[in-house]
Chain A
Amino acid sequence: MIRRRPGWFGVALGAALAVALTFLVLPIVAIFVDAGPGRLLAALDDDASLDALRLSALTTAIALAIIVAVGTPAAYLLATRSFPGRAVVITLVELPLVLPPAVAGIGLLAALGPKGLLGGVLEDAGVELVFQTAGVVVALCFVASPFYLRQAQAAFAALDPRWLEASRTLGASEAATFARVAIPAARPGLVAGLALAWGRALGEFGATLMFAGSLQEVTQTAPLRIYDGFAEDFTGALALSGVLVAVSAAILLAVKLMDATEPLGRAAR
């Protein structure tokens, strides 16, 4: 970069950044400062909060496992094959990225609720989602999977097609090429997508509340506990928020570090 003396434009840019930074960081700082670290830690020692964190860990883990199992081959197909309507399919699977959570919640109710499109089918099959932990997982998958699909598709698309061809010429089957060549080569992108999906799932609130309800140990994840608790126990809600901030920051940092180290790692290979 060329260093030059800042003119008025440079000052304006700096001011804009300062405004943005202050605005974005202030609420996060306030979470930790408002009550102080000691009281925050003490407030975390609460059954409902601990149950909520445990449930959040469990449901996001299950949701991510499902997302990876289904999303990886789906993204591979989208990235490596062309077929009529591909652009439409990509748009459709990315749509939940921009949907308001309340829309996701009401959509899930309309589709999978007892009176929903598939409500009768699910009931006959003995599958219950509303008010169940499984319902939380469904809501998480719905809102978080597009993050993974998008990233995974980009990662597969960025692979050099000659590698895949070479693998096939050497006699590996399509499946073996996918498992042994494509996935390892695309791994950094897949992991980044996974982290983003995790972050989104961890923060999911509206769709869960509308579709799965809110009950301690069953459907009350950490964000729902924060909402339920803030009226009565503001410090407790702050403490739980602090945990989510810390975990989300760790996820983001991990993704950044992976981004930063990857080109070097690739060059060394």
Chain B
Amino acid sequence: MRVRMRSAVGVVAALAIGLGLASCGDDDDGGGAAGGPLVVSAATSLKGALTDYGETLDPRPRAQFAGSDELAAQIRQGVKPDVFASANTKLPDALHREGLVEQPRVFAGNRLVLAVPTDGGRVRSLDDLDDAGVKLAIGSETVPIGSYTRKVLARLGAARNAAILKNVRSNESNVGGVVGKLTQGAADAGFVYITDVKSASGRLRGIELPARLKPSAAYGVAVVKGAEHRDAAVRYIDALVSGAGQAELREKGFEPAP
């Protein structure tokens, strides 16, 4: 299919040249036999770090960011990025078992915090979350941030868990949605990663969770099977696990792989 597509493009390009029109060939080379840049599908929370990391590379990879669950669903539907970087290890492991990605590697850790708008005063600690009228925005159940959040809440005990969930006003499809609802003052509090608080440039304040509640958020990355730029993908992941990528991750507040 792809091959036929490219040959069709070739025919059109040849015609264009033949007619004396300006023609544009491939913009950049992905460093492999195939054309185009390396394509990275990554969790929303990785946006800052992987964008900076990408800028150190030549050619610069093309990265798309969304909820890890959505990106995994795309891969299951046959979409083939070269690299899949998830905000958990569950999704890459599952895709590996299904034969869709190669052996995943853990490359970073992150910390869940309770985030509140800097200018909001309604929520000062975990104890305020079940107060009447408090508005919470959290990740939806299917996205990693949402499942970590539910783990934290479950550790608070059934009664408090239920009381807090009653205050949830929105289940956002990725962590960016939670951040947006907080910075707009729509929600009083939400659970996000410490890295999101850092990249919100002062608009969010992070409240640390007690150690007994903290779920370990480990990030997994894998080469997608059948990737067009497999060699470049392997190099990208190598440097992410133990090279230039680590510096960018640490800069944004990510922790070493747990």
Contact = CB atoms under 8 A, between A and B. Distances in A.
The secondary structure that dominates the B interface is mixed
The secondary structure that dominates the A interface is loop
A115 interface: yes
A210 B143 CA distance: 17
Contacts of B73: 230-232, 234
B135 interface: yes
A114 interface: yes
B186 A215 contact: no
B186 A131 contact: yes
Contacts of B135: 131
> What is the interface residue range for chain A against chain B?
20 to 34
Nearest to B181: A213
Contacts of A209: 173, 177
Contact of B69 (A214, A219, A232): A232
Interface of B: 67, 69-70, 72-73, 76-77, 135, 137, 140, 142-143, 168-173, 177, 180-181, 184-187
Interface of A: 109, 113-115, 119, 130-131, 209-210, 213-216, 218-220, 227-228, 230-232, 234
B67 A231 contact: yes
Given A214-B171, A232-B69, 7 more contacts: A114-B185, A213-B170, A215-B168, A231-B70, A231-B73, A231-B143, A232-B73
Closest 4 pairs (CB-CB, A-B): A213-B170, A131-B169, A231-B69, A231-B73
A210 B180 contact: yes
A234 B77 contact: yes
Nearest to A114: B185
Nearest to A113: B184
A115 B185 contact: yes
Given A131-B135, A214-B140, A231 B171 contact: no
B186 A130 contact: yes
B69 to A, nearest CB: 4
Contacts of B140: 214, 228
